[in-house]
Amino acid sequence: MGATPRLRRAGGLAALLVGVTFFDELATGVPFAGSPEVQREFGVSYGQAAGWLLAAAGALALVLEPPIFLLADRRPRRGFVAGGLLAVAACCLLGAWAPSYPWLFAAILFYGPASGVACGCAQRR
C-alpha cells in the first residue's frame, strides 16, 4: 500500500528544505574558492576578495537576522522562507552579473542574511 498524498507531500517538502540547506552550504564557500578569480577580474587584493566579502556579510547578518526571526516567531513562516529564497536568488543573479567589485560586494553582502533567514525559518518548528 502506498503512502497517503499528505505523507508524500510532507516528504517532498522535507527533501526540498534539505536541498535548500545543502545548496546554501555549497554557495557559502564560493567566495573563498573564487577569491583568486575575483582578484584577477576586478583587480582587488586578497583581503578585499575574500576577507571583506565574508566579514561584511556576517556582520550584516548579526544585525538583521535577530529582528527578522522575532517577527517570524509571531507570523506564519512561509512568507519569510519564500522571501528569503527570493532574495537569495536575486543576490545570486546580481553576483553573476556584477560588472564591478562594488556590485559583487553588495550581492554577497545581502546573500548572507537572506540565506540565514530562509534556511533558519525553514528549519525551525
Instruction: Locate 19 and state its grid cell.
Output: 536541498
Task: Find all residues with CB under 8 Å of 51, minimum gap 6, and list them.
Answer: none
Q: Please, what's the b/e burial string for 93-114 (b: 16 or more CB within 10 A of its CB; e: otherwise)?
A: ebbeebeebeebbebbbbbbbb
The percentage of the chain sitting over the pLDDT mark of 90, rounded to a whole number, equals: 7
What residue spans of 43-77 are helical by DSSP H? Answer: 46, 53-74
Average of per-residue pLDDT across 42-63: 80
Backbone angles phi, psi at 27, to 5 degrees: -70, -25
pLDDT of 25 above 70: no
Average of per-residue pLDDT across 90-112: 88
* Lowest pLDDT segment from 12-16, 38-42, 81-85: 12-16
Q: Which amino acid is residue 28, in one-letter code?
A: T
Predicted TM-score of the model (pTM): 0.73
pLDDT of residue 31: 62
